[in-house]
Every structure is written in C-alpha cells, then in structure tokens.
Amino acid sequence: MKGNHKGFADGTLFALNIFIVVLVVAGNNLVVPQWLQPVGRLHPLILHFPIVILMLAMVMEFFRFRSEFANEKLYQSFTDYLLLLGALLSSVTVIMGLLLSKEAGYEGNTLQWHKWLGVSVEFMGYGVYLIRNTPKYTATLAKTGALVTVFCLIVAGHFGGNLTHGEDFVLGPIMDKEKNLVPIDKALVYQDVINPIFMAKCQSCHNPDKMKGRLMLTSQEAILKGGKSGKLFVPGDPAISLLLQRVHLPEGEKKHMPPVGKLQLTDEEKMLLYLWVKGNPDFKKKVISLPVTDSLRMIASKLLKPVESTEEVYDFSAADDKDIKKLNNNYRVIYKLANESPALAVNIYNKSTYNIKALEELSPVKKQIVALDLNKMPVKNADLKVIARFENLRQLNLNFSDVTGTGLKELAALKYLKSLSLAGIKLSSADIKQLTALKSLTELAVWDTGLKTAELETFQKANKHVKLLTGFKDDGKAIKLTSPQLKNTAIVFKQSYQLELSNPIRGVDIRYTTDGSAPDSIHSASYKSSVTFTQSTVIRARAFKAGWIVSDTVQFNIYKSTYTPDSVAFLKYPDDKYKGDGPKTIIDKELGGNNFGNGKWLASQKDMEMLLWFNKPVDLHSINLDAMRNTGPQIFLPSKIEVWGGADQNHLKLLSHAAPAMPLKTDAFGIMSLECKLKTSQSVSCVKLVIKPLASVPSWHPAKGKPGWVFIDEVFVN
C-alpha cells in the first residue's frame, strides 16, 4: 500500500515535470484557454505551502550524512517523503505560475527572473529526490544541492514579492525613509509628492513587469498615455478623471483601486491626487512655486523636509551678555543673529552723535561682530582701521558714508567679508580694483558711485564670483509695485490699534478697505498715519502710483483682546495630530499663519470643548474665534459655535451662538475671524466654548460624506 502511494506520487511528479518542460519550451507560443486561467491565479494562494515543505526537506537533506542521522531509518525515510511532497507541490505551483504569466499585464525582467528561478527550484528539488538514494550521492552533493535549492528559493521569493507588492517590499520597513526626503525648496510636485504615492500604493500592479489594465505608473509618458480604460485623468477636472473615480469607489467594488488586500490610500493621499489633477498636472513644477496658501503646498510641507539650513557655523564663543547690555544705547543696537548663535549684528544710528568712539567701544565684542550697519553715518577712512579689527566680520554697510576709495585698502584684513555696500560713495576703477584682495567677497553694492558701465564690466570679468548690485535701470517698462507692509507687527491689541502701513517705493498711494473687498484707486480710503481701530478688523491694502503696475492685494488681520483668561482646559480634546501647545495655544497671542501643519493650530473632526476661567469676573460682550478655511484638505469653518458662561463650571447658560454659512465650491482660502456677540453683556468668571465641525463634507468635494476638519489658533475675549 505504502509502495503504491509512493509509486503513484513518483509517476505524477515525473509527468508534472514533463509538463513543465513543455510549458517552458512552448514559451510565447503557448495560449492559455480561458477555462484554465483560474488555475493559474491560484499560484500566489498556495505557493507558501510548498516553500515551507521544500525548505524543511533541504535543511534535513543538508544534515543527512551526519553520523547521528546517517543510519537513522526514520530520519532518512521521512526526508525522502518530505522531498517527494515538496517537489510534487512545487511542480504544481510552477505550472500555475507559468499559466498565470501568460495573462496580460505580466512581463519584464522581474517576471523572467522569478520564472526561471522558480523552475530551477522545482528541477533542483526533483533532481535531489531522484539521486539521493544512489551510490554516487555524497555528503558534498547533498549539501550543495540543498544550498543551491534554498538560495534559488529565497531569490525567487524576493522577485515574486516585488511582482506582487512592488520593489523593496522586503527591505522597505527597515530602510531610512528620512534619508530620501527632499527639502521643500528643492522638491518637485510630481517627483517628490505625487510619485511616492504611486510607488507605495500603485506601482506593484502597474509597472513594466506587471501592467494590470495595460497601465504603467512609472514614467510621465506612461501616465499620460493611460491604460486599457483610457486616459488616467482629465487635467483640471478630477470629478471626471478615472484616477479619482477608482480610488474613491467603495472598497467592495471590483474596480476600486488599490484592490482589496493591498495597502489603501489615506485620505491625505487621495486629497493630494485630487489637488494635483485639479491644478492641471505639471511634471516639472516646484512645490515652492505654488502659492503659500495653496492646499497642495500646505499638505506637501508636512511630508517634505524643511528648507535646509544655510545658517553659518561659527568657531568663536559667545560674548558676555553683560557686555552686550552695557554697549547697547539709544544710538547703537547690538543683537544676536539667532537665539543659539554667538554671532552679533551692530546697527549705529544718528549721524549727529556719531564719532570713532562708537566703534572703538565695541572692542569687548569685536570677535563676535559679523554684521555692521553704518548706513548714512559720517564714517571716515581712519574709522576703517578700527573696523578692520572686527576679524569675523561678514557684512559691512558703508552706504552714503564719508569714506573715500583710497581708504578701502584697510578692509583687506577682513578675510571673512562676504557682503560690502558702498552705494553713494564716489569711486574710480582703481578704487574697486583694491577689493580683489577680498577673496571671500561674494556681493558688492556700487550703485550711485560714479563708476561707468565699462569699468564695472572690467571688474566683473576679473571677479566672476562677485555679484554686483548696480541699482535700478529705467528701461521704459512699467514695474509692478511691491505690496504695502505693516510696520507695527503686534496685531493683537487691548484698547486701540494705530495702523502703520508703508511701502519701500516713495510717493505711492496706499488704499485700503475693511469690508473684505479689494481696494481700488478711486473709491477706497487712502491711508493716512492717523488711522486708528478699536475693534477686530480685516484690512486689505494695495499700492498705486502713476506709471507703475498696481501691487497685489495684501491682507492684515488685527485682533482686539480685552481679557486674557487666567487658565484654560479642554473638555473635548483636539486631534493628536493637531494639538498645538495644548490649551494655552488659544490664548498665547501667537497666530498660526497660513501653514496648518506648523504646530500652532488646534484641529479636530469632532466637537471641541474648552473652559476659560477668570480669577476676577469680566464683563463679556463677545468672543472672537480665529479659524482657517481651506476646502482642499477638508478644512471648513465650524458648523456652529456656542458660548456658555456663568459664575463657575456648574452654573453655565448659553449666552451666544454663531453658525457660519454653508461652504461653497468657490470659497477661497482664508484666515477668518468669527464673532459670537452677546445680546447684552454678562458678568462671568467661567466661559465654555463649544466648536462643532462640519458633520458631512458637501457633495461637490471629493471627500463627500466624511466629517470636515475645523482649525482654530486663537480665541479673543472682549
């Protein structure tokens, strides 16, 4: 009976090997009938069992000639049957794999390596089984056969994993992904934001070796070409793009991508694909070329490295803080370039009080001074000898000083000087020729110096590493004005706020509005220095000047904050990904800005509730909430805000509520000030704030039906 079973298995194994030879020899001429295709698709389902059996058999075969096993009949017999079973199951698996490889979408080098190594494993296993009981079979042959078989088995499995799950499937979890992150200032939208999604979630089925649906996602040309079902996307219209339709299908749907069982796209990844298609896919565009408020750029900034630091490392120690404090006065300001940096910058003001002592007194900190600004100071040639002692100086501004060209030779001692400004000083070609001694110089400002174009060109040719700043040249073309700037950067006030707007171009007319409209040159108010605000206001401003192109509109939000809570606590917490600096985030007067991923925002897809306590009762008139609206990444204004107040936490009543309008597809990005105004003022010691997100994203949004995100960065109590 035992012999009959073994004989039948032997015969079956022989027949299967002959069939494998036929399949291999037939190659591309083989056509697999449709009824047989399901057999091939069982290949990945059952291959793990023969791998284990054959691996165990080969391990036992490797040790079969050891003295303790050589004469052990059970060991030898068990190994023999194990080899037979392993070879038999392997041959079935190989046949299934060969049938599967004939289906459309399987091709390329990875498939060929997997195919031939798989066939080799089966033939090696069968070969060892056939000769293991012959007289010429030795320990060397046993070990060699076992090692070669196991090696082929491992490598074939590696290529099979790559076919099924994509490249680096095995080593992916232990690879340092941070190493591959690109700084945001160097990143390309497609290459560094979109392509990683395709690589991780799509390319395992859509690559040159395995083109499911005749679609490849490994190159620009292939992506634009599309697959069997047509183009992958319609630029600018994600709603009718196949890519977005497939990834948003329910997972149970047959055409949902990636298929069930594969690693699925996150909501963030789906949103990135949506925004990429909506923005007319560009394969060369840089991330930083997108507007700062662009949703795709904001999400990408969380995934990419920050801009690589260009901060210089200094080899000198920090100055004594007492010396810095002593040397600071009304006409001389000394400050650190950064909190942890030993480098100092010095600005000297008021030409009527300036003399050489203002420089000589800096002797205690001369090693730490790397930047010196003497703009419009009556600096003489003799003063340059003192400046030359500041051995680590990198930047020197002598614009419109009393220095002459003959004194510039003193600067040769400054071996680290990179930037030198000499605007407004009369110079000759011989004067600037002296500056070639400054080997570290990379920037030289020489506008309004009387130097002729030919003289500047001669210097530039001899010093190609130096960037010459020669000032503005009027070519007759209109230039766009820079936007107005806010001089008083503290935008949170308690009683009143005096608006201070400026523009670097003289003679501009700054116009502003407070109703949300874009300023124009006729109807909008013209800025005067006496403008004062007593309430939170959104100010929009533009600069106008005859002969110039009008500037872009710039927006400034100013916030009134009469009372600051003495303590804050959460009742319902924000999401762990966006918890800022805890409860104090909403009362620290530090606004979150345009980047929702910078750690200064609180956010949730569920209700947020917080308590605000005041040690002394306050006369409450309104609560203002600073919120973000950015519909791309599902950030909507709250659906409802409730303000509760009372003497303590146990005696609260609803004082006010607000419900912003339902979001529209045309809503632009914005930081919005939402007010909950009380009908009559109330004396309270405790306030409960309830912030409810949008329960269901509108149908026009790709994330329709899911809850929206609500983001807040500050609460102002008035």
* Tens-place pLDDT, residues 65-123: 777 777 777 777 777 777 777 766 677 666 666 665 665 545 556 667 767 776 777 77
- Lowest-pLDDT range of 159-163, 164-168, 341-345, 601-605: 164-168
The backbone torsions φ and ψ at residue 313, rounded to the nearest 5 degrees and listed phi first, read -100, 125
The pLDDT of residue 517 is 87
- Which residues have a Cβ under 8 Å from the Cβ of 452 and sit 6 or more positions away? none
Q: What is the mean pLDDT of residues 593-610?
A: 87
Phi-psi label, residue 280: left if phi above 0, alpha if psi -120 to 50, beta otherwise: left
Same-domain status, 294 and 330: no
Give how many domains the chain has, as a whole number: 5
Same-domain status, 661 and 569: yes
Q: Residue 399: which of 369, 378, 429 has the closest Cα?
A: 378
By the 8 A CB rule, do 628 and 592 touch? yes
By the 8 A CB rule, do 544 and 550 touch? yes
Q: What is the mean pLDDT of residues 39-48?
A: 48
| Residue 609: both structure tokens together | 């509730």
More confident residue, 417 or 129: 417
Does the pTM surpass 0.85? The reply is no
Distance between CA atoms of 414 and 595, rounded to whole angstroms?
41
Same-domain status, 455 and 532: no
Same-domain status, 337 and 362: yes
By the 8 A CB rule, do 242 and 232 touch? yes
The pLDDT of residue 387 is 95
Same-domain status, 651 and 694: yes
Question: DSSP secondary structure string, 42-76?
Answer: THHHHTHHHHHHHHHHHHHHHTTTSHHHHT-HHHH
Same-domain status, 351 and 288: no
Does any domain span residue 386? yes
More confident residue, 45 or 159: 159
Distance between CA atoms of 449 and 447, rounded to whole angstroms?
5
- Tell me whether residue 73 is exposed, middle or buried, using C-beta atoms within 10 angstroms of its C-beta: 0 to 12, 13 to 18, 19 or more: exposed
- CATH for 569: 2.60.120.260
Q: Which domain holds residue 670?
A: 562-717
- Lowest-pLDDT range of 120-134, 162-176, 590-604: 162-176
The pLDDT of residue 99 is 62
The backbone torsions φ and ψ at residue 119, rounded to the nearest 5 degrees and listed phi first, read -60, -40
Same-domain status, 246 and 298: yes
Same-domain status, 327 and 298: no
Distance between CA atoms of 45 and 687, rounded to whole angstroms?
61
Which residue's structure tokens are 């010691």?
685
Continuous H helices in 166-239:
177-180, 189, 195-201, 220-225
Distance between CA atoms of 211 and 33, rounded to whole angstroms?
20
Same-domain status, 86 and 105: yes
- Which residues have a Cβ under 8 Å from the Cβ of 213 and sit 6 or more positions away? 105, 206, 227, 228, 229
What angle, rounded to 10 degrees, do the helices at 295-303 and 267-278 form?
140
Q: What is the mean pLDDT of residues 204-224?
A: 80
Q: What is the mean pLDDT of residues 389-414?
A: 92
What separation in angstroms does the CA of 331 have from each of 137, 264, 393? 97, 63, 20
The pLDDT of residue 107 is 53
By the 8 A CB rule, do 189 and 282 touch? yes
- Tell me whether residue 679 is exposed, middle or buried, using C-beta atoms within 10 angstroms of its C-beta: 0 to 12, 13 to 18, 19 or more: exposed
Same-domain status, 15 and 160: yes
Beta bridge partners of 372: 346, 396
What average pLDDT does the structure give for the chain?
82
* Last-in-domain residue among 248, 267, 302: 302
What separation in angstroms does the CA of 112 have from each of 47, 160, 532? 17, 10, 77
- Lowest-pLDDT range of 85-94, 503-512, 609-618, 676-685: 85-94
pLDDT tens for 537-569 read: 889 999 999 888 999 998 888 888 999 999 999
Does any domain span residue 710? yes
More confident residue, 576 or 82: 576
* Last-in-domain residue among 469, 500, 519: 469
| SS3 call for 594 | coil
- Tell me whether residue 10 is exposed, middle or buried, using C-beta atoms within 10 angstroms of its C-beta: 0 to 12, 13 to 18, 19 or more: middle
| Residue 452: both structure tokens together | 């002729």
Distance between CA atoms of 278 and 190, rounded to whole angstroms?
13
pLDDT at 42 over 50: no
The pLDDT of residue 174 is 40
pLDDT tens for 446-469 read: 888 888 888 888 899 989 999 988
Continuous H helices in 102-230:
109-131, 139-165, 177-180, 189, 195-201, 220-225
- Which residues have a Cβ under 8 Å from the Cβ of 76 and sit 6 or more positions away? 64, 69
Helices and strands per DSSP (H, E), number in the chain: 20, 25
- Lowest-pLDDT range of 74-78, 569-573, 576-580: 74-78
Highest mean pLDDT: which range of 45-49, 175-179, 596-600, 683-687: 683-687
User: How, if at all, do strands 492-493 and 554-560 pair?
Assistant: parallel
* Last-in-domain residue among 141, 165, 189: 165
Does any domain span residue 372? yes
More confident residue, 235 or 37: 235
Beta bridge partners of 501: 486
Please name the helix (run of DSSP H) or strand (run of DSSP E) that holds residue 558, with its range, or none. Answer: strand 554-560
Beta bridge partners of 541: 512, 554
Same-domain status, 572 and 712: yes
| SS3 call for 35 | helix
Angle subtended at Cα 488 by Cα 486 and Cα 494, rounded to the nearest 5 degrees: 125
Same-domain status, 355 and 379: yes
The pLDDT of residue 171 is 45
pLDDT tens for 607-646 read: 999 999 999 999 999 999 999 998 888 899 999 999 999 9
Q: Residue 192: which of 180, 202, 201 has the closest Cα?
A: 180
